[in-house]
Chain A
Amino acid sequence: MRKAIAVLAMMAAAGPAAADWAEVLEEARGQTVYWYAWGGDARTNGFIEWVSDQTEAAYGVRVEQVKLTDTAEAVARVQAEIAAGQESGGAVDLIWINGPNFLAMKEAGLLHGPFTADLPNARYLDLSPEAPASIDFTVPVEGYESPWRLAKFVFAYDSARVAEPPATMAAFVDWAAANAGRMTHPTVSNFMGASFLKQALVELAPDPAVLGQPVTDAAYAAQTAPLWAWYDALRPNLWREGQAFPENESMQAQLLADGEVDIAMFFDPAAPAALIEQDILPESVRVFVPEAGSIGNISFVAIPRNAANRAGAMVVADFLISPEAQAHMQDVTVLGSYSVLDPARLSPDEAALFAALPSAPALPKLEDLGPTLPEPHASWMTRLTEDWAARTAP
């Protein structure tokens, strides 16, 4: 029955949209899409190469990954081009984007769209206004970016050295006091470091509901006071006495691999299993989340308004939300990132693709990950970042 309705819905949705899509496919053939994506993870880079092979075979669209150390570089690039009056033929065709970078580009009118609903594979997505794929850090997506992978904050620890990891964010203070120098977090100017503070903020704020609203001076002062008290108690017992911080999550993973620290953090529950699979982390590494749950969001791709290969970029965005691509991505030997598709919208054959995926000891079960807490409004992150920089500046 459900399938019949889906087919009917598809037929109803076809018509002019399908004709438009045929035009997009026609225009995209032969294009090379420059996908600006953080390049610090070899497996993500490998997945993007796989995407290129698939889209080239199916649609004649090649993908060239431009490996960034920070997504903000791509935003700055588009800004520089628009600033110089370059309204077409821009360098950036597709950006892996989230949160403040998306907010900045959307507000500055730098993005093409809305386009998500025009993608044929959008039929697998739950795009209702409250759905995770419709909200990026509390900012409504409104079709200006298309989802591709699920991100959820987790900690990883080396079970060979740590018997009992902290159960709550508050408990990190005592744990660090007992294990001085054995944990750290990435610098807060980096997305991952900011996420660590946000994870703590969500747990420690007197009224977490306020965090969903744009930040005000009064709300900021009231909601972050417990956070900074917590951080001031934690910081002296961090790695290098809280005077230096790794640049990003990968460098922290390297510190965990070397045994310089015992705890690392990721925005991908499968990342530790993936790093074990690659012989980077020891096999004793396991995942944990605070009892109350952890913040989560979806990673998106967006298309700048001056993109040189817009049609190709749309074809790639569409392929990324195909069941085939999502199942390949969820394979722990590939990426291990959880799918963004709505399981209820998959056909039995499509669902079977996911059921057949392998598992691993360090790969947490979905039910062990606890609830997904909403991200604070993006403006909170900006304030936290600035405040942290001022508080910790030597």
Chain B
Amino acid sequence: MISLRVLALLLIGAPVLAGAGMTLLTALGWQPAFGRTELSLAGFEQALAVPGLWTSLRLTLLTGIGASILSLALSIPIARWVVSRGRGAGWLAPWLAVPHAALAIGLAFLLAPSGWIARMLAPLAGWEVPPAFVTVGDPAGVALILGLMLKEVPFLVLVTLAAAAQQPVAAQMAAGRSLGYPPARVWVRGIWPVLYPSLRLPIFIVLAFSLSVVDVALVLGPGHPPTLAVLILRRFADPDPAQAVVASALAVGLLVVMGAAVLLWFLAERVIARFGSEVIAQGARGRPRGGLDVRVPMGLGAMLGLGAFGALALWSLARRWPFPSILPESWSLARWAEGAWLAPAAETLGLGAAAVALSLLLAVVWLETEDRSGTRAGLGAVIVLPLLLPQIGFLQGLTSGFIWLGLPPGRVAVLWALSLFVFPYVMIALAGPWRALDPAQIRSAASLGAGSGRRLWAVKLPILLRPLMVAAAVGFAVAAAQYLAVLLPGAGRVRVLATEAVALSSGADRRIAAVQALALAALPLVAYALALGLPAWLYRDRAGLRGGGHGA
């Protein structure tokens, strides 16, 4: 057990902590290669003098915390709606598999003043040139918040459903209703607060992601000034090494912001819990109100999602598509046929598969060791640390650390960085089904003389094939979506679909950006189809194994 913890610490925890430590050292002015070994706070002073810093910080807080709170608020009624229907959650997993960057690029094509929506309105409004509206890149970050919410609401709905599956929700609902509460009130006041503790970790993951996301902010966020994470990335890219000190100081600042946001969240939780329990104790039944039908935001979200990918598909097939035409003037398959997307697609596939294989192996070893020793190591903070810290706060430091270790920038460094983010999700996806295995089956195998190795190979893994595949698909989707974790440790040498698509989205040619973004969205979906299809095909004659285990 101890060796496992050490292994996890070395592979997952140490790089993150070392990267964050390296960032802090650089922020204090420690750059031995440039003859600077004296520590000072000058970097922080310079960081505070960065033009537009306060606007940038306000924007970061507004978009990061705003997107998280709005997503959570919407996820509550939507989760109830899905639970009450007993079905309709099937679209969640494939939608979550679509990388943020692909969605963001599609949304930009949809929402821009020259975008698909404006083109549809143009004949009615009489626009011959795009209207002077500020949509994508608006200074308040509304487009950015919207882009984040489109992915975060479904994520929070999915984790709410997973938590609800552990509770007798139907019985609780029946009890609540028999006491005269409308269903919405039973959900919000009776059931959801019980689920909340299981949602805390996912909420903090959403919060950390929203506060520090780079790819979505590059595509949908404002640029003058951008969010803190983008501001930091720009300064890391500056040729003047002194700017790395300022960038690191800002990155430390972002870590502090994240910490403060979490503290604030805990505080708000207390206040709401105290105030809320008084309200609940009053027992006001209320009336079923019309209110906002959850189908309105869901329909809007679905339309934006479909519109985004529709715009991507059209652009990828367009030859010329001037404003205000609703459809391309002329068509061409050239952007697909040129095949510029093939090499980054192969790289995405290879790196994703390798990161998934490594993570699955580590997860199986971890869980099997638990079984054999009879104790649980627990998931531990170490595993989820990479998900809770802002990426820009440790990935640049990690890259410097890799160079110190003699690991040159390239595929291996990227693979390691990717695994930091893939492993936690694989572990979370696999641990539930693994621990829910019926011990009687294992005991039967043992009584038939199967050793521990054979029990693993011949019993556990085949029974767990479907959860293993789902964990692999989740892991692959996570790997394919990573932008900074490829950009920084790859030194630009490793070109995957996410980095190519984001780079091309700031080019002049929407058509090639659309091709890369569509390929980026398609790969994880193919992985999902395989994950669900393979066990069904392998076990087509064995009904008991097909549905085995839980979903992700």
Q: Looking across the interface, which residue of chain A has its beta carbon closest to that of B218?
A: A247
For B113, B129, B130, B503, which residue has the most chain A Cβ atoms within 10 angstroms? B129
A-side contacts of B238, CB under 8 Å: 72, 76
Bound CA span A79–B403, Å: 12
In the bound complex, CA of A342 to CA of B23 (Å): 49
User: Which chain B residues lie closer than 8 Å to A22 at the CB level?
Assistant: none
Contact-residue size bin, chain A (C-beta under 8 Å from the other chain): 35 or more
In the complex with contacts A39-B503, A66-B492, A251-B506, A394-B239 CB distance below 8 A: no
A105 touches B512 (CB 8 A): no
Minimum CB distance partner of A64 in chain B: B493
Please give the distance in Å from A117's CB to the nearest CB on chain B. Answer: 26
Whether A244 contacts B224 by the Cβ 8 Å rule is: yes
Q: Which residues of A contact B467 (CB under 8 A)?
A: none
**Nearest-CB residue, chain B, relative to A256:** B508
Contact across chains for B322 and A282 when beta carbons are under 8 A apart: yes
Q: Which of A76, A89, A248, A394 contacts B52 (CB 8 A)?
A: A394
Contacts of B223 in A (CB 8 A): 187, 244-245, 247
**Residue contact A278 to B225, C-beta cutoff 8 Å:** no
Cα distance, A393 to B139, chains bound together (Å): 12
A270-282 vs B: 1/0 string, CB under 8 Å?
0000010011101
Which residues of chain A come closer than 8 Å to B319, judged between CB atoms? 279
Contact B508 A251 (CB under 8 A): yes
Query: Whole-angstrom distance between the alpha carbons of A314 and B55 in the complex?
Result: 46
Chain A residues with Cβ below 8 Å from B508 are 40-41, 250-251, 253-254, 257, 275, 280
B491 CB contacts on chain A under 8 angstroms: 66, 77, 91
Q: Known contacts A76-B236, A80-B399, A260-B129: does B509 contact A248 (CB below 8 Å)?
A: no
**Is A84 interfacial (CB 8 A cutoff)?**
yes
Instruction: Produce 1/0 per residue, A212-233, CB < 8 A to B.
Output: 0000000000000000000000
Tell whether B182 is near chain A: CB-to-CB under 8 Å. Answer: no
User: How far is it, in angstroms, between the C-alpha of A248 and the C-alpha of B234 when the chains are bound?
Assistant: 13
Nearest-Cβ distance from residue B167 to partner chain A, whole angstroms: 48
Which residues 371-394 of A have a CB within 8 angstroms of B? 389-390, 392-394
Select one of B114, B132, B139, B323 contacting A181, CB under 8 A: B132
Is the Cβ of A75 less than 8 Å from the Cβ of B239? yes
Which chain B residues numbered 63 to 112 have a C-beta less than 8 Å away from chain A? 112
Residue of B225, B234, B403, B510 with most partner-chain A CB within 10 A: B403
Query: Restricting to A230-258, which residues have a CB under 8 Å from any CB of B?
Result: 240, 243-245, 247-248, 250-251, 253-254, 257-258
Task: Kindly supply a per-residue 1/0 record for chain B positions 372-415, scoring 1 wherever the CB is within 8 Å of any chain A CB and 0 otherwise.
Answer: 00000000000000000000000000011001100011100000
Would A83 and B222 count as touching, CB distance under 8 A? no
Q: Which of A64, A105, A280 contacts B239 (CB 8 A)?
A: A105
- A189 in the interface (beta carbon within 8 A): yes
- The docked-state distance in angstroms from the alpha carbon of A258 to that of B132 is 12
Cα(A389)–Cα(B231), bound, Å = 13
Q: Is the CB of A100 within 8 A of B239?
A: yes
A69 to B233, CA, bound (A): 12
Does B449 count as interface, using CB distance less than 8 angstroms?
no
Select one of B225, B234, B408, B509 contacting A280, CB under 8 A. Answer: B509
Query: Given contacts A73-B492, A104-B240, A260-B129, is CB(A279)–CB(B503) below 8 Å?
Result: no
Contact (A254, B134) CB under 8 Å given A77-B409, A244-B222: no
- Whether B403 pairs with A81 at a CB distance below 8 angstroms is yes
Q: Which of B26-34, B153-161, B288-296, B438-446 lines the interface with chain A?
A: B26-34
A362 to chain B minimum Cβ distance, whole angstroms, is 15
The answer for the CA separation of A26 and B193 in the assembled complex, in Å, is 72
For residue A76, which residues in chain B have a CB less than 8 angstroms away from its CB? Answer: 236-239, 244
- Expressed in whole angstroms, the Cα–Cα distance for A31 and B410 within the complex equals 17
Q: Is B151 an interface residue (CB 8 A)?
A: no
Query: CA of A74 to CA of B319 in the docked complex: distance in angstroms?
Result: 33
For B, the interface residue count at a CB cutoff of 8 angstroms equals: 55
B137 to chain A, nearest CB (A): 6
Assess the B509–A260 pair: CB atoms within 8 A: no
What's the minimum C-beta distance from B368 to chain A, rounded to whole angstroms? 38
Give the contacting residue for A67; candidates B52, B112, B132, B503; CB below 8 A: B503
**What's the nearest-Cβ distance from chain A to residue B100, in Å?**
18
Nearest Cβ in chain A — how far from B488, in angstroms?
10
Chain A nearest Cβ from B419, distance in angstroms: 21
A72 and B33 within 8 A (CB): no
Contact B52 A84 (CB under 8 A): no
Contact with B along A33-70 (1 / 0, CB 8 A): 01010011110010000000000000000001011111
Q: Is the CB of A70 within 8 A of B237?
A: yes
In the complex, chain A residues 153-178 whose Cβ is within 8 Å of any chain B Cβ: 161
CB closest chain-B residue, reference A259: B129
* Complex Cα–Cα for A101 and B238 (A): 9
Distance (whole angstroms) from the CB of A88 to the closest CB of chain B: 11
Across-interface contacts of A250 in B (CB, < 8 A): 506-509
1/0 contact string of A85-106 vs chain B (CB within 8 Å): 1100101000000001100110
Smallest CB separation, A59 vs chain B (Å): 22
Interfacial chain A residues near B330, Cβ < 8 Å:
279
Tell whether A104 pairs with B506 under 8 Å between CB atoms, given A80-B399, A80-B403, A187-B223.
Answer: no
- CA A83 – CA B25 in complex, angstroms? 14
Q: Which residues of B contact A204 (CB under 8 A)?
A: none
A68 neighbours in B (Cβ, 8 Å): 492
Question: B320 contacts A79, CB within 8 Å?
Answer: no
Q: Which residues of B contact A36 (CB under 8 A)?
A: 492
Question: A111 at the A/B interface (Cβ < 8 Å)?
Answer: no
Residues of the A chain whose Cβ atoms lie less than 8 Å from the Cβ of B114: 258-260
Given the complex, which residues of A lie within 8 Å of B241, measured CB to CB? 79, 83, 108
From the candidates A83, A91, A254, name the one contacting B409 in the complex (CB within 8 A).
Answer: A91
Chain A residue contacts of B112, Cβ below 8 A: 258
The 10 A-B residue pairs whose C-beta atoms are closest, nearest first, are A83-B33, A258-B114, A393-B51, A84-B403, A393-B52, A75-B239, A250-B508, A253-B508, A259-B129, A104-B239
Question: Residues of A with Cβ closer than 8 Å to B?
Answer: 34, 36, 39-42, 45, 64, 66-70, 72-77, 79-86, 89, 91, 100-101, 104-105, 108, 161, 181, 187, 189, 240, 243-245, 247-248, 250-251, 253-254, 257-260, 275, 278-280, 282, 389-390, 392-394
Q: List 19 A-B contacts (CB under 8 A).
A: A39-B503, A42-B340, A42-B507, A75-B239, A79-B33, A84-B33, A84-B404, A100-B239, A101-B239, A161-B129, A181-B132, A244-B137, A244-B139, A250-B509, A257-B322, A259-B128, A279-B319, A392-B224, A394-B139
